[in-house]
Structure 1
Amino acid sequence: MWYLYGIVLLAGIANAIQPGQNGALARGLSQPLTAGLVVGVGTLLTILTAGLASGRLALPTFEEAARIPWWAWFGGVLGGGIVATQLLVAQRVGAAAFTGLLVTAGVLTSIALDHFGWVGFERHAASLPRIVGGLLMIGGVALIAAS
């Protein structure tokens, strides 16, 4: 189980690196959002390759699709919004402020998602340590963004 935390740490590192890569791509193209299409194709190919290699890729049956909540189909839209933000904003605010704000907003939102059991998460109370941790993250990102 601990190896999963290592994978998440690697994803966090990638999350910090990706806006710079995407920004460089956007600057090199005539329109910055064209880079988003390139990123999307790269994402598609990565998921397709991983799915085919692992045998964990299949089109859903009608019954499976009907059981899925309507809002669950729109995660890609949120991912596209994140990539568009990387392309249009990250370079202007800097890597530390961008990633700090992104992660802090994600943690604060996650505390609420856990507390209320929204979008498929099991309930985990917004305990005092979680709330204090979120507040400390706000303070930390304020210090990073101010300098």
Structure 2
Amino acid sequence: MTQPPLLVALAAILLGGACIAVQAPMNARLAAHAGGPVAAAAVSFGVGFAILAAIALARGGLPPAAAVAAAPWWAWAGGALGAVYVWAAAWSVGSLGVVTLVAALIAGQMSAALVLDATGAFGLRPREVDAKRLLAVALVAAGVLTSRL
């Protein structure tokens, strides 16, 4: 798979971030009609699956089952991690508000990212955890606290 140019990659992830912010209150509203955040997350994942399957089919088809089955066991956990996020966001957005939810989400992502970079987990190239990177995480954490003042 080829890597996208930097500006295209930034634009895509900015769009993804905006989608995350919008997704939480949408799923919270769905939860009110679906019987709770777990049911809403299941519906949300079903819609997402249908869209992604349609795109995969339009681009040449789904991968062979044997190829996917050959992936390491931990590679299959991504969907479970996504389910935790969708449930947690739908469940907590009413208490936190979207700004605090997203700030806390980013703080959690950055904290985990430090560990992943430092260890080179999941086949990543290890990267040094230096003072600048620690400060970046601390500033985002301060943003979480500031958003609640």
TM-score (norm 1): 0.89
State how 1:111-126 maps to structure 2 within 5 Å.
111-126=114-129
Equivalent residue for 2:24?
19
1:103 corresponds, among 106, 116, 121, to 106
Mapped to 2, the partners of 1:31 and 1:104 lie a distance apart of 26
The answer to whether the aligner puts 1:9 opposite 2:14 as a matched pair is yes
Which letter does structure 2 place at the counterpart of 1:104? Answer: A
Which consecutive unaligned segments of at least 5 residues does structure 2 have? none
Q: Secondary structure at the match of 1:124?
A: coil
The aligned counterpart of 1:65 is 69
Partners of 2:72 and 2:35 in 1: how far apart?
39
Following superposition, the deviation at residue 126 of structure 1 comes to 0.7
Q: Which runs of 5+ in 1 are unaligned?
A: none
In structure 1, distance between residues paired with 2:36 and 2:143? 34
Aligned to 1:49: 54
User: What is the aligned-residue RMSD (CA, Å)?
Assistant: 1.6
Question: 1:69 Cα shift?
Answer: 2.1
The CA distance in 1 between the partners of 2:108 and 2:36, in whole Å, is: 28
Shift, 1:119, TM fit? 2.3
For residue 37 of structure 1, the aligned residue among 19, 36, 42 is: 42
Amino acid at match of 1:109: A
String of CA shifts for 1:58-117, please: whole Å, max 9, x gaps: 12425x633x22111111111111111122212221111111101111011111101110
Deviation at residue 19 of structure 1 after TM alignment: 0.3
Q: Structure 1 residue aligned with 2:143, among 122, 134, 140?
A: 140
1:128 pairs, out of 131, 134, 143, with: 131
Query: Per-residue deviation at 1:56?
Result: 6.1
Identity, % of aligned pairs?
A: 26
Counterpart residue type for residue 95 of structure 2 = R
20-29 vs 84-93, which deviates more?
Answer: 84-93
Normalization by structure 2: what TM-score?
0.88
Write the letter of the residue equivalent to 2:16.
A
Deviation at 1:32, TM superposition (A): 3.5
Supply the distance in 2 between the matched residues of 1:56 and 1:5 (Cα, whole angstroms): 27
